[in-house]
Structure 1
Amino acid sequence: MDAALPLELPLDINSVKGFLADSEGAALYRLAAEASDRGPCLEIGSYCGKSTVYLGSACKLMNNTLFAVDHHRGSEEHQPGEEYHDRELFDNRSQLMDSFHAFRTNMRAAQLEEHVVPVVAPTTVAARHWNTPLGLVFIDGGHSLEAALNDYRCWSRHIVPGGFLAIHDIFPNPEDGGQAPYDIYKLALASGQFELVEMVETLGILRRL
């Protein structure tokens, strides 16, 4: 990745809700820029759009497109009574968590609406008829093993040779965090189809062989 590429974001990234470290976001920005000559980018798990701003800004710079897949009903940990529940994102009318309004607001503020395509659906539904080759897939969806496996199996096969797979929240030590992202990271390496490029905090970056 080109570490010299200047990070240019159109808004204060700290104003966007999310769980991405600055160093991880900067790595995603550079990665999306590098991947743009291989095909469009796709992320699973947009939430309020923090990672989307990093990825989408790089796509805008390179005149590329980012597909942002998320059902916007939150993962297990975002539900009422759970550790990461945010009352501001709970829709009292439907009695469901809904991050899509915040996501759209942030995309508009970041001037990314012409480069980010929201796909508001569960990952398995979004992938059902997908045929577009991808230069980058970023997985940051649900952290249950079922959800992580679905994300990996649905999307990794669409990455072109030389393209990238990035996985967030990799914790080799179970005491530090959930193991599902680490499990699919190990699965990708064991497949023989990917090689590790770099680890940036909890972000694993792999290249398709």
Structure 2
Amino acid sequence: MSSPTRPSTLPDDRRTVADDAPGFMPADEADALHSVADHYLSQPDSVGLGIEIGTYCGKSTVYLGDAAERHGALVVTVDHHRGSEEHQPGWEYHDTALVDAHAGLLDTAARFRRTMFDAKLEQTVLGLVAPSTAAARVWGREADFVFIDGGHSMEAAQNDYDGWARWVRSGGALLIHDVFPDPADGGRPPYEIYRQALDSGLFTEVAVHGSLRVLQRA
């Protein structure tokens, strides 16, 4: 199998859009994500679909959408757009600029749409505004990859894994972000579901880039 982390070739204009979008993914991991998505969408048995769980403002979605566009594929990105625990008032990553004055709650949906508009990816990226658990209840088709980067509580990470890992096609990939084997480096829930995927026997690790893990399904 060719490397799923060959160099990223995201165009400069889209890179600028991604850089301007609020978010937390390091540039080198985003480049790796781009090349991984391109790899799995380019395979002969591709079904032309990738899934992202955890949209926020669409920074990583630009990389996924660009890869999908190259192959006439689609990306569905799932988020309730009310933010994870760490985005709420009083927490480290709360951004007052993203609070909806009407509801008094975080709302990243409009900023996500702006990102997709600026990146010219509105025909390639489909935003599904719903909790991950609710969206999983109505989902019904396989994908070339599922990228889990949603809430980092154990409940949220477990729900994302239980609801979406099963939709990775044979030969496709489960991608998990913020995997830190050392607890001193970051939260444990993404690591815990990463271990579950490996222990299931269905997935084999094929690439590591920073905190991004690429697991291929048998």
- TM-score band, normalised by shorter chain: over 0.9
Is 2:102 aligned against 1:97? Answer: no
SS state of the match for residue 198, structure 1? strand
2:149 to 113, 122, 140: 140
The reply to whether residue 64 of structure 1 matches residue 69 of structure 2 is: no
- In the superposition, the TM-score normalised over structure 2's length comes to 0.93
Aligned length: 209
- Residue aligning to 1:8: 11
* Residue of structure 2 in register with 1:161 after alignment: 170
Residue 4 of structure 1, CA deviation: 4.8
Counterpart pick for 2:38 among 33, 37, 42: 33
Unpaired runs of 5+ residues, structure 1, are none
Moved over 3 A (4+): none
- Say what the alpha-carbon RMSD is for the aligned residues: 1.1
In 2: Cα distance, 1:10 partner to 1:191 partner: 40
Q: Which runs of 5+ in 2 are unaligned?
A: none
The residue aligned with 2:62 is 53
Q: Match for 2:25 among 20, 25, 29?
A: 20
Aligned-partner residue type, residue 53 of structure 1: V
Contact 2:5/2:207, CA 8 A, preserved across alignment = no
CA distance in 2, matches of 1:194, 1:47: 27
Aligned mates of 1:8, 1:35 — CA distance in 2: 19
- 2:171 maps to a residue whose letter is G
Equivalent residue letter for 2:28 = S
Tell me the CA shift for residue 2 of structure 1: 5.6
Q: In 2, are the aligned partners of 1:9 and 1:54 still within 8 Å (CA)?
A: no
1:195 is aligned with what amino acid? T
* Cα-to-partner distance string for 1:131-156 (whole Å, 9 max, x where unaligned): 11110000000000010011001011
Counterparts of 1:72 and 1:18, CA distance in 2: 13
Identity, % of aligned positions: 47
Q: Deviations over 1:106-153 (max 9, x none)?
A: 000000000000000000110102111110000000000010011001
CA contact (8 A) 1:78 1:86 kept: yes
